[in-house]
Amino acid sequence: MSAESVKAAANASGSNVLFEVKGLCKDFGNGLVLDHIDTTINQGEVVVIIGPSGSGKSTFLRSLNLLEEPTGGHIFFEGTDITDKHLNIDTYRQKIGMVFQHFNLFPHMTILRNMTLGPIKLLGIPEEEAVALAKGYLERVGLLDKADAYPSQLSGGQKQRIAIVRALCMNPEVMLFDEPTSALDPEMVGEVLEVMRDLAKGGMTMLIVTHEMGFAKEVAGRVLFIDEGKILEDDTPEEIFQNPKSERLQSFLAKIL
């Protein structure tokens, strides 16, 4: 049975848990940044993570693809414990797309090369096929004319759209967004959110750390409020924004809305 059909069978039986996080801790050496986090992310969910700066929300997101190595607890991805030291992290990371606040495009490569390097070198996709795939995505985000440009020739919004489709070219099962619009000029936020909205509509599993509350209300199926390394509230956006239970969330929302 191929990996695909195993997955299909698992889905059919109702088990569509993608991430299972158990007792996740992270300590940079001066106290817990993540304090025993437990949560489950299902396939197809769009989860927005909010919280004050320094609350650990970015660290939590980055732990999910081990850019931050957990100091305690376990993360299961499709049933496999990825905190297991013997696991090949690289093959696992190929399944997880990541979008950064500062885009992190490779400045010495053209846009097309940025997008095809991973598929060609890691997935073994023939070059023509990878190029066709990349161009398809470029067309979808309206940047086909930038295929041969270098990142320095693009605006912030364009860079972030490229960063998103670069991750998509690896055909990931989930996309992680770490404050994708925080470094953008206000007039460029919309174009990036538009791409993310489309992605959510297409059924992609997404975890998004953001300060765009309007976007969270509109797109999220679930909102996590993290403060001082703990998930204090985990609910639908309606409940979170209209009926915040904890005092911390109330004061957080009062400050930003």
Partner 1 sequence: MDGFVASFQNNFIDDSRYLYLVQGLGMTLLITFFAAILGILLGFLVAIIRSTYEKTGKMKFANSICVLYLTVIRGTPAMVQLLIMYYVIFASANIGKPLVAILSFGINSGAYVAEIVRSGIMSIDSGQLEAGRSLGFSYAQTMWYVIMPQAFKNVLPALANEFIVLLKETSICGYIGLMDLTRGGDIIRSRTYEAFMPLIAVALIYLVLVVFLSSLVRKLERRLRASER
- Can you state the angle between helices 156-168 and 127-140, rounded to 10 degrees? 130
Per-residue binding letters, 113-132, with partner 1 (x by CB under 8 A): ----xx--xx----------
- Can you state the angle between helices 186-201 and 156-168, rounded to 10 degrees? 20
In whole angstroms, the minimum distance from the beta carbon of 106 to partner 1 comes to 6
* Size of site (CB under 8 A) for partner 1: 26
In whole angstroms, the minimum distance from the beta carbon of 218 to partner 1 comes to 26
- Is residue 5 part of the contact set for partner 1 (CB under 8 A)? no
- Strands in 96-99's sheet, in edge-to-edge order, are 96-99, 174-178, 205-209, 46-50, 222-227, 230-235
Q: How far apart are CA 129 and CA 144, in angstroms?
A: 16
Q: How far apart are CA 97 and CA 196, in angstroms?
A: 13
**Beta pairing, strands 174-178 & 96-99:** parallel
Of 10, 67, 147, 253, the residue at the interface with partner 1 (CB under 8 A) is: 67
Stretch that binds partner 1, among 53-61, 106-114, 124-132, 196-204 (CB under 8 A): 106-114
Of 74, 104, 234, 235, the residue at the interface with partner 1 (CB under 8 A) is: 104
Stretch that binds partner 1, among 72-80, 145-153, 194-202, 231-239 (CB under 8 A): 145-153
Of 100, 225, 241, 252, the residue at the interface with partner 1 (CB under 8 A) is: 100
Of 22, 36, 74, 93, the residue at the interface with partner 1 (CB under 8 A) is: 93
DSSP 163: H
Cβ closest to partner 1, residue 122 vs residue 132: 122
Q: How far apart are CA 164 and CA 175, in angstroms?
A: 9
Residue 257: CA atoms inside 13 Å, Cβ hemisphere, count?
A: 16
Contact 220, 48 (CB under 8 A): yes
Stretch that binds partner 1, among 86-94, 129-137, 192-200, 240-248 (CB under 8 A): 86-94
- Is residue 153 part of the contact set for partner 1 (CB under 8 A)? yes
Closest CA to 103 of 171, 173, 169, 183: 183
Contact residues: partner 1, CB under 8 A: 65, 67, 90-91, 93-94, 96-98, 100, 102, 104-108, 117-118, 121-122, 150, 152-153, 166-167, 170
